[in-house]
Amino acid sequence: MKKLASLFSFSGKVKRARLLQFLPLALLLWLGAAYVDETWLAPNLCLINENWICYLPGEVREGVTLDMIVYALLMIPLFGLLVRRLHHHGRSFWWALLGLPLVVVLAGFLYRPEELGDLTYLLIAGVIFLPLLYWALKKGRKEQKPA
């Protein structure tokens, strides 16, 4: 329980391995939610409530889906880990805000690709995000132990 609570903490430091352990787990959770949403939840919505619309797998849906909720919930611990990773490098949490444009643009491309048009937004957000990603994944400073 303590490890789960530490995911939502923005204070302290975290090693690179912890961040790299969380990323595949988050991806699997998100893909699992998308699979459940596409194969079970969307086709059976009208069975749960007759006012809701059933969708076949692969159809474009309106409104909030399960994978959108999981994506939003996973962004909070990921941002917390990123902030603590930046603390490990001696940077403040404000550097993590550089990654927010990429998260917003990626969410837009995932859930509304027809409205965004070209890849200009993704390119700009990616260029802003690359230095942050570099700092987050490189080794941190060695802690000097007091003599």
Q: Give mean pLDDT in consecutive 10-residue pieces for the chain, a chain of 147 residues.
A: 71 80 88 84 70 66 77 85 81 73 70 60 67 68 59
What is the model's pLDDT at position 28? 92
- Alpha-carbon distance 81 to 42, whole Å? 32
Amino acid identity of residue 86, one-letter, is L
88 Ramachandran zone, left/alpha/beta (phi>0; psi -120 to 50): alpha
Tokens 């700009």 belong to 124
Cα distance between residue 22 and residue 35, in whole Å: 20
Helix H or strand E segment including 14: none
- How much is the pLDDT for 39? 80
Q: Whole-angstrom Cα distance, residue 74 to residue 79?
A: 9
Q: What is the pLDDT of residue 141?
A: 63
- The CA–CA distances, whole Å, from 26 to 57, 82, 142, 147 equal 23, 14, 28, 40
Rounded CA separation 105/127 (Å): 12
Determine the pLDDT at residue 58.
Answer: 61
Q: Tell me the C-alpha distance between 77 and 38, whole Å.
A: 25
